[in-house]
Structure 1
Amino acid sequence: MQHQFRHLPVKTTLSCLIACMSQTLYAENTATEVQKLAPIIVQATRTDREKLSTPASVYYLEQAQPENSLNVNLSETLKGVPGLQLNNRENYAQDLQISMRGFGARSSFGVRGVRLYVDGIPATMPDGQGQTSNIDLNSLDHIEVLGGGFSSLYGNSSGGTILTTTREGQGTDSIELGHSAGSQNKGQTKLVLQGGSENANEPSYMISSSYFDTDGFRDHSGAHKVLSNAKLTWDLEDGSKINWINNYVKIAADDPGGLTREQWQANPKQVATNVLLYNARKEIEQLQTGMTWNKPINDQHELYGMAYWGQRAVTQYQSIPRTAQSGVNHAGGVIDFDRHFYGADLRWTAKDILPNANLIAGIAVDTMTEDRKGYQNFSGNTLGVKGELRRDEDNRLWNLDPYLQASYAFLPDWTLDAGLRYSNVHFKSEDKFLSNGDNSGKTDYQKLLPSLALSWKILPELMAYASYAQGFETPTFTEMSYPANTAENRSLSLKAAESETYEVGLKSASEWGDVTVAAFQTRTKNDIVSAGSDNGRSTFRNADKTLREGVELSWNKNLWRDLTAQASYSYIDATFDADIPAIGTVPAITDGNYIPGIAKNQAFLSLGWKPDNGLHIGLDIRYSDKIYVNDLNSDTAPSYTVAGANVGYQWKMPDWSVNTFARVDNLFDKDYSGSVIVNESNSRFFEPAEGRNWSAGLSVTKEF
Structure 2
Amino acid sequence: MLRPVIAAMQLMVIGSAFAQTAGEREDTAGALAPVVITGDSAWQQRWLAPGSVEVVDGEELRAGQLQINLSEGLARVPGLVVRNRQNYAQDLQISVRGYGARAPFGVRGVRLYVDGIPASAPDGQGQAANFPIGSADRVEVIRGPFSALYGASAGGVIALYTQDGARPTEWRTGVAAGSNGLWRLSTQLSGQTGTPAQPGWSYTLDAGKFATDGERPQSAASRSTGNLKLTRAHDGGRTVLLLNRQSSLALDPLGLTRAEFDADPQQTTASATQFNTRKSVSQTQIGLAWEQALGQGHRIELLGYGGQRAVRQFQAIPTGAQTPPGSAGGVIDLDRDYWGWNARWRLDRTYDSGRLTVAAGLASDRQTEDRLGFENFVGTTLGVQGRLRRDETNRASTLDPYIQAEWRTAATTLTAGLRHSRVRFTSADRYIAAGNPDDSGATQYDGFSPVLGIRRELTPQLQAFASVGRGLETPTLNEVAYRTGGQTGLNPALNASRSLSAEAGLRGRQGWGSWSATLFETRTQDEIVVLSNTGGRSTFQNAGRTRRHGLELSGVMQWGPVTITPAYTWMDARYRDGFLTCTASPCAAPNVPVAAGNRLPGLAKQQAYLQLAWEPGWANSVWTLEATHTGRMAVNDRNTDATAASTLFNVGVRFEQNRGDWTWREFLRIDNVTDRAHAGSVIVNEGNNRFFEPGPGRSVYVGVELVRRFP
Specify if TM > 0.5.
yes
Counterpart of 1:217 in structure 2 is: 215
CA contact (8 A) 1:288 1:309 kept: yes
Distance in structure 2 (CA, Å) of the matches to 1:289 and 1:493? 37
Once the two structures are superposed, residues 579-638 of structure 1 have per-residue CA deviations (whole angstroms, 9 ceiling, x without a partner) of 113453563211110010001111111122468982122221111101000111111011
- 2:257 corresponds to 1:277: no
Aligned AA (1:687): E
Relative distance call for 1:535 and 1:433 in structure 2 (3 A) is closer
Instruction: Kindly state the Cα deviation for residue 84 of structure 1 after the two structures are TM-superposed.
Output: 0.7
Identity of aligned residues (%): 40
Q: What pairs up with 1:412-491 in 2 under 5 angstroms?
A: 413-435=411-433, 436-487=436-487, 489-491=489-491
1:670 match: secondary structure: coil
Q: What pairs up with 1:484-503 in 2 under 5 angstroms?
A: 484-487=484-487, 489-503=489-503
- 2:530 corresponds to 1:511: no
Q: Which moved more, 1:199-208 or 1:137-146?
A: 199-208
1:69 to 52, 65, 78: 65
Instruction: Kindly state the Cα deviation for residue 356 of structure 1 after the two structures are TM-superposed.
Output: 3.7
Relative distance call for 1:121 and 1:612 in structure 2 (3 A) is farther
Distance in structure 2 (CA, Å) of the matches to 1:101 and 1:612? 41
Aligned AA (1:284): V
Instruction: Kindly state the Cα deviation for residue 197 of structure 1 after the two structures are TM-superposed.
Output: 3.9
- 2:312 corresponds to 1:292: no
Q: Which moved more, 1:495-504 or 1:507-516?
A: 507-516
1:652 match: secondary structure: strand
Counterpart of 1:52 in structure 2 is: 47
Distance in structure 1 (CA, Å) of the matches to 2:166 and 2:563? 26
Once the two structures are superposed, residues 475-504 of structure 1 have per-residue CA deviations (whole angstroms, 9 ceiling, x without a partner) of 010111135542484443321111001211
CA contact (8 A) 2:531 2:590 kept: no
1:246 to 240, 243, 246: 243
Normalising by structure 2, we get a TM-score of 0.90
CA contact (8 A) 2:471 2:499 kept: yes
Counterpart of 1:669 in structure 2 is: 675
Distance in structure 1 (CA, Å) of the matches to 2:683 and 2:48? 39
Counterpart of 2:17 in structure 1 is: none
Distance in structure 1 (CA, Å) of the matches to 2:247 and 2:372? 20
Distance in structure 1 (CA, Å) of the matches to 2:150 and 2:618? 36
Distance in structure 2 (CA, Å) of the matches to 1:414 and 1:614? 41
Aligned AA (1:626): R
CA contact (8 A) 1:278 1:384 kept: yes
Distance in structure 1 (CA, Å) of the matches to 2:57 and 2:357? 28
1:629 to 632, 635, 641: 635
CA contact (8 A) 2:104 2:683 kept: yes
Aligned AA (1:577): R
- 2:322 corresponds to 1:325: yes
Instruction: Kindly state the Cα deviation for residue 413 of structure 1 after the two structures are TM-superposed.
Output: 3.2
Aligned AA (1:48): T
Q: Which moved more, 1:539-548 or 1:483-492?
A: 483-492
Counterpart of 1:173 in structure 2 is: 169
1:162 to 144, 158, 177: 158
Distance in structure 2 (CA, Å) of the matches to 1:519 and 1:42? 31
CA contact (8 A) 1:527 1:544 kept: yes
1:600 to 601, 605, 612: 605
Distance in structure 2 (CA, Å) of the matches to 1:60 and 1:165? 11
Relative distance call for 1:613 and 1:494 in structure 2 (3 A) is farther
Once the two structures are superposed, residues 430-480 of structure 1 have per-residue CA deviations (whole angstroms, 9 ceiling, x without a partner) of 011111101101111110111111222111222112211000011010111
Q: Which moved more, 1:188-197 or 1:463-472?
A: 188-197
1:615 to 602, 612, 621: 621
- 2:362 corresponds to 1:357: no
CA contact (8 A) 1:607 1:620 kept: yes
Counterpart of 2:133 in structure 1 is: 137
2:578 match: secondary structure: coil
Counterpart of 1:341 in structure 2 is: 338
Distance in structure 2 (CA, Å) of the matches to 1:310 and 1:649? 40
- 2:85 corresponds to 1:89: yes
Once the two structures are superposed, residues 174-208 of structure 1 have per-residue CA deviations (whole angstroms, 9 ceiling, x without a partner) of 33222110100001111222213444562111111
Counterpart of 1:546 in structure 2 is: 546
Q: Which moved more, 1:528-537 or 1:433-442?
A: 528-537
CA contact (8 A) 1:429 1:440 kept: yes
Counterpart of 1:3 in structure 2 is: none
Q: Which moved more, 1:687-696 or 1:200-209?
A: 200-209
Counterpart of 2:577 in structure 1 is: 578
Instruction: Kindly state the Cα deviation for residue 535 of structure 1 after the two structures are TM-superposed.
Output: 6.9
2:480 match: secondary structure: helix
Counterpart of 1:406 in structure 2 is: 405
Distance in structure 2 (CA, Å) of the matches to 1:484 and 1:75? 36
Distance in structure 2 (CA, Å) of the matches to 1:280 and 1:63? 35
Instruction: Kindly state the Cα deviation for residue 537 of structure 1 after the two structures are TM-superposed.
Output: 4.5
Q: Which moved more, 1:200-209 or 1:328-337?
A: 200-209
CA contact (8 A) 1:556 1:565 kept: yes
1:193 to 183, 189, 213: 189
Instruction: Kindly state the Cα deviation for residue 387 of structure 1 after the two structures are TM-superposed.
Output: 0.7
CA contact (8 A) 1:318 1:535 kept: no
Instruction: Kindly state the Cα deviation for residue 533 of structure 1 after the two structures are TM-superposed.
Output: 4.1
Relative distance call for 1:673 and 1:201 in structure 2 (3 A) is same
2:592 match: secondary structure: coil
Distance in structure 2 (CA, Å) of the matches to 1:601 and 1:537? 32
Distance in structure 2 (CA, Å) of the matches to 1:483 and 1:685? 24
Contiguous gaps of at least 5 residues in structure 2 = 1-24, 583-588
Distance in structure 2 (CA, Å) of the matches to 1:261 and 1:267? 10
Instruction: Kindly state the Cα deviation for residue 131 of structure 1 after the two structures are TM-superposed.
Output: 0.2
1:492 match: secondary structure: coil
Q: Which moved more, 1:684-693 or 1:611-620?
A: 611-620
1:99 to 84, 95, 101: 95
Q: Which moved more, 1:483-492 or 1:135-144?
A: 483-492
Distance in structure 2 (CA, Å) of the matches to 1:456 and 1:307? 36
Once the two structures are superposed, residues 404-430 of structure 1 have per-residue CA deviations (whole angstroms, 9 ceiling, x without a partner) of 001124x76333210000111111110
Q: Which moved more, 1:332-341 or 1:579-588?
A: 579-588
Distance in structure 2 (CA, Å) of the matches to 1:650 and 1:387? 55
CA contact (8 A) 1:295 1:302 kept: yes
The count of aligned residue pairs is 664
- 2:392 corresponds to 1:393: yes
Q: Which moved more, 1:168-177 or 1:633-642?
A: 168-177
2:702 to 682, 688, 696: 696
Distance in structure 2 (CA, Å) of the matches to 1:612 and 1:232? 39
Counterpart of 2:11 in structure 1 is: none
Distance in structure 1 (CA, Å) of the matches to 2:80 and 2:572? 14
Instruction: Kindly state the Cα deviation for residue 553 of structure 1 after the two structures are TM-superposed.
Output: 0.9
CA contact (8 A) 1:41 1:48 kept: no
1:182 to 175, 178, 182: 178
